[in-house]
Amino acid sequence: MQSLDQFAQAKLDDLQRRHLRRALAETLREDGIWVERDGRRLMSFSCNDYLNLSQHPAIKQAAQAAIDKYGAGSGASRLVTGNHPLYAELEARLTRIKQTEAAVVFGSGYLANAGIVPVLIGRDGLVLVDELAHACIFAGAQLSRGKVMTFRHNDLDHLRKLLGEHRAAHEHVLIVTDGVFSMDGDLAPLAELNTLANEYDVWLMSDDAHGLGVVGGGRGSSFSGNTHIPVPLQMGTLSKAVGAYGGYLCASAPVVDLIRNRARTLIYSTGLPPSCVAASIAALDLIEREPGYAALPVQKAKAFTTRAKLPEAQSPIVPVIIGAEEATLAASQMLADEGFLAAAIRPPTVAAGTARLRLTFTAQHPDDAIERLADIVREKIMARA
C-alpha cells in the first residue's frame, strides 16, 4: 500500500510543479448563470448549459414527474429491463430533429463514442480523427484496436493525402470529427468532409455535443449554413444545451440496430434514470418550438467577440488563448475578483502552450455583463498576452 501511495504522491507532485494539478471546486449552481463557489457569488461563463435548460421549471417538472411515475433509477441495462417507455419517445424526437431513420440513446456522450467506434471498426480498419477532436473519440478509436491516425485540424488537404496513402490498405475507414470543437468553438467543414468521405467510400461520424440546441436552428452542426448535410453517423450528448444527461447516435435503421446489438457500453451499462430521459424530451420540445431562443447563445458570443476584438464566434464557445498555465490561472483568478467564473483550461485538455480561458455564452447572460467581461478581457488580458 505504501508504494501505491508513494506512486500517487510522486505523480501529484509532478503535476503541481507543472501547474497542472487539478482540484474539484464545490460549485452550487443557483440558476442558469449564477454560481456560488468558495463563499462567493459569481456569474458563470464556464457552463455548457447553453440554453439554461437544466434549471428550466418545465424541464425540472418533467424530471420530477418521471421519478414519480417510473422511479429514481432504471434498474438494469436497456437490453435487460432498463428500457423504460420514455426511451422510445426520446429516440423518436432525436430521429426527427436530425432527420435520420433512427436513433439510439447511451448513458453519456463519452459512453456513446467509446461504444460506437469499436462496433464499426475492427483490427483491420482505420480511424482518421481530427487532431482537436474530443478525448472520448480517441478513447473509442483506441478501443476499436484498428489503426488510428490524426489529421491536422480542419485540414481537408491533409485528410485527402492520408486517404490517398492509406485507404486501399483497409476495408473499412471511419473519419471522426467534432461538429463544434469543444475547446476552440469553431465548426468542422462537414459538407466538404462528407463529399470527401463519399469520394473515398469511407464513413463519416460527427460529434455534435456542442452543436445540438445551439447551431443550425437548434438542430446542430449538420444543419448550419441553412443546408442539411446528410452525415451518416451523427453522435451527440444530452448534457450540454439539452441540460440533462445521456448520449446518442442518429443514423440509418440498420446501423442503429447493429449498435443496439453490439455496442458494449450500451449492453453492459445501466440505462439512464427516467428523470434524465424525461428532461431531455422536454428540452428537445422547447428547442424545436423556439429556434429564436436556441439562436441566443451564439448571438451573445458574437456580441462578446466583436467588443473584445477577438475572431468572430461561430458557436457559444470562445477561447481566450493565453499560452502559459500560470498566466492562465492568474487571468481566471483576476476575473473571479471581478465577479466572473471563467475556468482555466490547461494541458492535456488542450495542447501544450495553448492554455486558455474557455468562455461559454448562454441564452440568459445579460448584455451589460457581456460588455463588461469583453472590456476586461480586451484591456487586462489580451493587451498583456
Q: How far apart are CA 124 and CA 320, in angstroms?
A: 40
Residue 219 to residues 32, 89, 178, 199, 276, Cα–Cα distance (Å)? 21, 17, 15, 26, 20
Q: How many CA atoms lie within 13 A of 37 on its CB side?
A: 20
Q: Given candidates 44, 52, 108, 315, which one binds ligand PLP under the rule CB under 6 A?
A: 108
Helix (H, G, I), strand (E, B) or coil at 237: strand
Contact 276, 245 (CB under 8 A): yes
Q: How far is the CB of 167 from ligand PLP (least distance, A)?
A: 26
Residue 350 engages ligand PLP in binding (rule: CB under 6 A): no
Closest CB to ligand PLP among residues 200, 280: 280
Q: How far is the CB of 17 from ligand PLP (least distance, A)?
A: 27
Q: Given candidates 119, 136, 159, 341, which one binds ligand PLP under the rule CB under 6 A?
A: 136
> Residue 176: is it exposed, middle or buried by C-beta count within 10 angstroms (0-12/13-18/19+)?
buried
Contact 340, 373 (CB under 8 A): yes
Q: Given candidates 209, 244, 313, 373, which one binds ligand PLP under the rule CB under 6 A?
A: 209
Q: Given candidates 46, 52, 154, 182, which one binds ligand PLP under the rule CB under 6 A?
A: 182
Q: Given candidates 178, 184, 186, 325, which one binds ligand PLP under the rule CB under 6 A?
A: 178
Closest CB to ligand PLP among residues 130, 325: 130
Q: How far is the CB of 4 from ligand PLP (least distance, A)?
A: 28
# residues contacting ligand PLP (CB under 6 A)? 13
Nearest residue to ligand PLP, by Cβ distance, number only: 109
Q: How far is the CB of 26 from ligand PLP (least distance, A)?
A: 20
Q: How far is the CB of 146 from ligand PLP (least distance, A)?
A: 20
Site for ligand PLP in 238-277 (CB under 6 A): 239, 247
Q: Which stretch binds ligand PLP (CB under 6 A): 5-13, 32-40, 96-104, 203-211?
A: 203-211
Helix (H, G, I), strand (E, B) or coil at 84: coil
Residue 359 engages ligand PLP in binding (rule: CB under 6 A): no
Contact 269, 117 (CB under 8 A): no
Q: Given candidates 237, 269, 305, 354, which one binds ligand PLP under the rule CB under 6 A?
A: 237
Backbone angles phi and psi of 134, in degrees to 5 = -65, 150
Backbone angles phi and psi of 203, in degrees to 5 = -100, 145
Q: How far is the CB of 133 from ligand PLP (least distance, A)?
A: 7
Short-list 186, 182, 183, CA closest to 209: 182
Residues ≥6 apart with Cβ < 8 Å to 169: 126
Q: Which stretch binds ligand PLP (CB under 6 A): 31-39, 105-113, 159-167, 362-370?
A: 105-113
Q: How far is the CB of 295 from ligand PLP (least distance, A)?
A: 21
Bond prior to 366 in cis (omega within 30° of 0): no
Residue 356 engages ligand PLP in binding (rule: CB under 6 A): no
Q: Given candidates 56, 134, 219, 365, which one binds ligand PLP under the rule CB under 6 A?
A: 134
Helix axes 367-376, 296-308, angle to 10 degrees: 30
Q: How far is the CB of 276 from ligand PLP (least distance, A)?
A: 11
β-sheet bridge partners, residue 104: 249
Q: Given candidates 110, 248, 304, 340, which one binds ligand PLP under the rule CB under 6 A?
A: 110
Q: Classify 213 in phi/psi space as left (phi over 0), alpha (psi -120 to 50) or beta.
A: left
Q: Given candidates 130, 186, 207, 325, which one binds ligand PLP under the rule CB under 6 A?
A: 207
Q: How far is the CB of 38 from ligand PLP (least distance, A)?
A: 24
Residues ≥6 apart with Cβ < 8 Å to 185: 210, 301, 313, 314, 315, 316, 317, 318, 319
What residues line the site for ligand PLP (CB under 6 A)?
108-110, 134, 136, 178, 182, 207, 209-210, 237, 239, 247
